[in-house]
Amino acid sequence: MSKQDDTPASTTISFLNCIDLSTPDVQESVSLLKQACLDCGFFYVTNHGISQEFMEEVFSQSKKFFELPLSEKMKVLRNEKHRGYTPVLDELLDPDNQIHGDYKEGYYIGVEVPEDDPEADKPFYGPNVWPADGILPGWRQTMEKFHQQALGVARAVSRIIALALDLEADFFDKPEMLGHPIAVMRLLHYAGQISDPSKGLYGAGAHSDYGLITLLATDDIYGLQICKDKDAQPQVWEFVAPLKGAFIVNLGDMLERWSNCIFKSTLHRVLGNGQERYSIAYFVEPSHECLVECLPTCKSEKKPPMFPPIKCEAYLSQRYKDTHADLKVYNKHQS
């Protein structure tokens, strides 16, 4: 299908700043990123080092998984560590406006930690759940490689964010931050339902992400919308155009807390237009023990810290619990 056929009719398209990770002009990148963070909290990242050929392979493998029969997908159902398959309607992101959960299915893959490792006891850590190799040969290896490469992109972006907040470039590289991160990728599939906000039907309900930043790779189908001012009434929504080979990056709630609301996380949602849509979200959060508290460069006598310090592990656990179905629901269905 041609690009013009995919572009939504009579809607606003948001034009985002584009950060080229290959440029030697770091100050230009910092300036563009700072402007984007103050304006809308979303921007593109290009020339990030992951080849287009490999990105296409990851999308191809993702599609192969979602094309499996539901009975096969349910064998790798999401566990209590948030690894594995999430069925349609599993997640409810905007309970005030949604009558059902999100019309999307997903697959969580996190940092691989062996079961006998003491670290595996922590929330969001542990072994991943994988489809049987006989069903999807090479699938695990592809996803593990992408997880590793995307973390490298996230670290590169975090260095520019640090400079934009007047911190040392390696501020987020510390062991308690992105040295040992909770980095979770999620394959996503929207099957082609048509969303209708007036009836509370969404591909993904309005929400802000929980962590530091999110990297999003998409196919060429429109669907993602952002609301630049979450406090505005009525809210104004704009589509974000897919950009081939780029990541769409958005700021998360933890960065809003860290920066004392200088950089704000941005509400976003997905509207289905009747076309199948695939995307891959890569959520980047610091280590479990990281204390998220106002950065020294973001507070003053006139602007004291707006949020109390909170441990990353406690914050994330609560946010996931608030938005995902209780796993007992599936136990009942399968018994």
Q: What was the pLDDT predicted at 11?
A: 66
How far apart are the C-alpha atoms of 51 and 88, rounded to whole Å? 31
Q: What was the pLDDT predicted at 32?
A: 96
- Both tokens of 313, joined, read 């592990």
Q: Is 334 a domain residue?
A: no
Q: Is 10 a domain residue?
A: no
24-53 pLDDT tens trace: 999 999 999 999 999 899 999 999 999 999
Q: What was the pLDDT predicted at 8?
A: 54
Domain containing residue 193: CATH number = 2.60.120.330
Determine the structural domain holding residue 178 and report its residue range. 18-323
Residue 282: closest CA among 146, 84, 96 = 146
Q: Is 328 a domain residue?
A: no
Query: In this structure, are residues 305 and 270 in contact, taking their beta carbons and an 8 Å threshold?
Result: no
Query: In this structure, are residues 116 and 107 in contact, taking their beta carbons and an 8 Å threshold?
Result: no
Q: Is 123 a domain residue?
A: yes
307-324 pLDDT tens trace: 999 999 888 888 777 776
Q: Is 13 a domain residue?
A: no
pTM for this prediction: 0.92
3-state helix, strand, coil in the chain (%, to 5): 35, 20, 45
Q: Is 128 a domain residue?
A: yes
Sign of torsion, CA 112 79 212 66? positive
Q: Is 6 a domain residue?
A: no
Q: What does the H/E/C string look like for 245-308?
A: CCEEEEECHHHHHHCCCCCCCCEEEECCECCCEEEEEEEEECCCCCEECCCHHHCCCCCCCCCC
Amino acid at 205: G
Radius of gyration of the chain (CA): 19
Q: Is 335 a domain residue?
A: no
Q: What was the pLDDT predicted at 330?
A: 62
Q: What was the pLDDT predicted at 97?
A: 84
How far apart are the C-alpha atoms of 72 and 63, rounded to whole Å? 14
Count up the domains in the chain and report the number: 1
Sign of torsion, CA 133 138 143 145? positive
Q: Cα dist. 40→32, 185, 252 in Å?
A: 12, 23, 12
How far apart are the C-alpha atoms of 61 and 19, rounded to whole Å? 28
151-189 pLDDT tens trace: 999 999 999 999 999 999 999 999 888 988 999 999 999
Low-confidence stretches of the chain (pLDDT < 50) are 1-6, 9-10, 332-335
